[in-house]
Structure 1
């Protein structure tokens, strides 16, 4: 093929680019670039089952369609909530440890989309397991914990319903709440408590999920959805991750598939990826169970929502684990008392100049004419 073939028509597969049987090479290349080379990268060709590979091709190669206006406003609202929460804590409780989600705020609309899908399908519960990064934001904006109770924990007030309080730090505590979808569907959401030891919560959450499914006794329906939120360095570095993945398809341990979300801020405490793993991607350990992997740019919230919905649909269809590698960054240090510019000077020189994802998305929506400036500021 040469440059002169760009306007020639070629036959396409039955699922490629919609229902057209013939397309110009220019259009075919455009769809392929949008599907695989923009802000989404997908790994699935190592999956042995042809039906699964075909399933991905049918959904990825349809061509990009802009989400409806209501969904755009919902994404923007969740980004506003995520950023406002972190900004308030940074202003009110300066220097206190909270392991903020700044730089990875798209995690909130992504998890919101997963819960939205689960509620719409009538699942019983979404069980979330995660470490400290962004945990407070998830507790408030996904699991429904009241912001006031989080602020009281920062002020050191003991819960009056207990004798002396749990004594645990605020970013270890779990919670049980209720999520309400845009259509009014509700679903129970729980976040498991966890210690400082990264990824220890993985098998614990799978056990919690399996126990709840066994009690419900609905067989292959798998009505409780496990969601694990990881860090990039821990997912590649902690052996318990591989051990938990290895249990995922065993009859005695399976939970009908787990959605793994990796908040990939490209640094582990002070360690860069080139010094912390031998693999190309932090997700490569998941290839051993042939789990599909979506790499998605956290600065493109619409792509993240699309992938969240696709990951949920895959789990629902095949009852297997799926990985979302959310490429983002860490606005501050490992905790709010650290200055990361000492250990990652070049990275933080770039980060300091970056606009927040909320601001980037707002500018994109206004620039495309999808919303007005007044709506953005409402």
Structure 2
């Protein structure tokens, strides 16, 4: 740690040691979960909101409203943690899964008579006040649609809030045009059929397929497309083995004949380049892709069997490009 020479044990004076202090800790008092679990704080907020609107509430009414708000907030939190278990992942409607009981208002003590009663939320989901029926409809649209959002296990608070701000709320639904849906489907089919072909043509050959993760292909395509529109001109990728051959072919546009040549034992290196080469799922490539007239240069860094060894190489490569372009100042902010 750089402080090995210091005497920490037996010293009468406090000495500076390595800091283990966590950022954003303790939790901000304004955190909505704290509000949800503290009836006193929730009651104060409800009373203040009522006074602001020119209404007066008795202590009993405040306590009742605070209890309803707490139940609503716990319902919201349950959807954030477990809502993905109720996602509609079968577009044909063939299979029906039992929905977790805790995703229902009844589980949280909310009766049918209370479904249309206004509940104070203080801005959560974009509502100052809303009925449980409205809250449930928004939560189901956010978390139980065709995409299951599971993110509450992420330790970094800022990362969680980044996802939450973009996926959650009454106006947070994502809509695709018919053409956009077809483009996504085509890319998924390309990836799946590519894996099927390799599985039949090169039986038993180690290839680390993308099976089950084909949605990565349209996701990367959109990152490249919209990144280019936002001014991105270079992308450097670092990844492990799983799905690398598919990314090389269907995102990096590495020619199929080159990949198949490597499957047959051919070298990826030109004849005038020495060396013994490497297995095909370690190799990288560089290419240019054009979207809507915007050219984006991409490079996939080669990766050894020590899977995370590529990470500092990617960071160093990007840093070197930023230095060469005198583009460091805004990235260091």
Equivalent residue for 1:219? 328
Q: Could you tell me which of 53, 60, 70 is aligned with 2:168?
A: 60
Are residue 185 (structure 1) and residue 291 (structure 2) matched?
A: no
Distance 2:224 2:218 in 1: 10
Equivalent residue for 1:102? 211
Highest relative contact order (Cα 8 Å, sep 6+), 1 or 2?
1
Greater fraction of residues in strand: 1
Aligned to 2:180, what secondary structure does the other structure show? helix
Q: Could you tell me which of 291, 311, 314 is aligned with 1:205?
A: 314
Stretches of structure 2 that go unaligned for 5 or more consecutive residues are: 1-109
- Answer whether contact 1:101 1:133 (CA < 8 A) is retained: yes
Equivalent residue for 2:257? 148
Equivalent residue for 2:26? none
Change (3 A) 1:220 1:27: farther
Are residue 194 (structure 1) and residue 194 (structure 2) matched?
A: no
Distance 1:108 1:58 in 2: 21
Distance 1:218 1:21 in 2: 43
Equivalent residue for 1:261? none
Distance 2:274 2:154 in 1: 54
Shift of 1:202: 1.2
Q: Could you tell me which of 35, 46, 62 is aligned with 2:142?
A: 35
Are residue 167 (structure 1) and residue 274 (structure 2) matched?
A: no
Aligned residues: 220
Change (3 A) 1:146 1:36: same
Shift of 1:136: 0.7
Distance 2:192 2:154 in 1: 37
Distance 2:122 2:168 in 1: 13
Stretches of structure 1 that go unaligned for 5 or more consecutive residues are: 223-250, 252-318, 320-378
- Answer whether contact 1:131 1:194 (CA < 8 A) is retained: yes
Distance 1:58 1:109 in 2: 19
TM-score (structure 1 length as normaliser): 0.52
TM-score (structure 2 length as normaliser): 0.58
Are residue 114 (structure 1) and residue 236 (structure 2) matched?
A: no
- Give the superposed CA RMSD: 3.0
- Answer whether contact 2:151 2:160 (CA < 8 A) is retained: no
- Answer whether contact 2:121 2:128 (CA < 8 A) is retained: yes
Distance 1:88 1:131 in 2: 22
Shift of 1:54: 8.1
Q: Deviations over 1:330-375 (max 9, x none)?
A: xxxxxxxxxxxxxxxxxxxxxxxxxxxxxxxxxxxxxxxxxxxxxx
Are residue 176 (structure 1) and residue 283 (structure 2) matched?
A: no
Equivalent residue for 1:269? none
Shift of 1:150: 0.3
- What are the within-5 Å matches in structure 2 for residues 242-261 of structure 1? none
Q: Deviations over 1:67-113 (max 9, x none)?
A: 22222111111101111211221122221111111122112122222
Change (3 A) 1:161 1:117: farther
Equivalent residue for 2:240? 131
Aligned to 2:236, what secondary structure does the other structure show? strand
Distance 2:215 2:162 in 1: 29
Aligned to 2:245, what secondary structure does the other structure show? helix
Aligned to 2:210, what secondary structure does the other structure show? coil
Distance 1:220 1:16 in 2: 36
Q: Could you tell me which of 2, 8, 22 is aligned with 2:117?
A: 8
Distance 1:75 1:32 in 2: 25
Q: Deviations over 1:209-256 (max 9, x none)?
A: 11111212223544xxxxxxxxxxxxxxxxxxxxxxxxxxxx6xxxxx
Equivalent residue for 2:131? 24
Distance 2:240 2:162 in 1: 35
Deviates more, 1:23-32 or 1:121-130: 23-32
- Answer whether contact 2:118 2:129 (CA < 8 A) is retained: yes
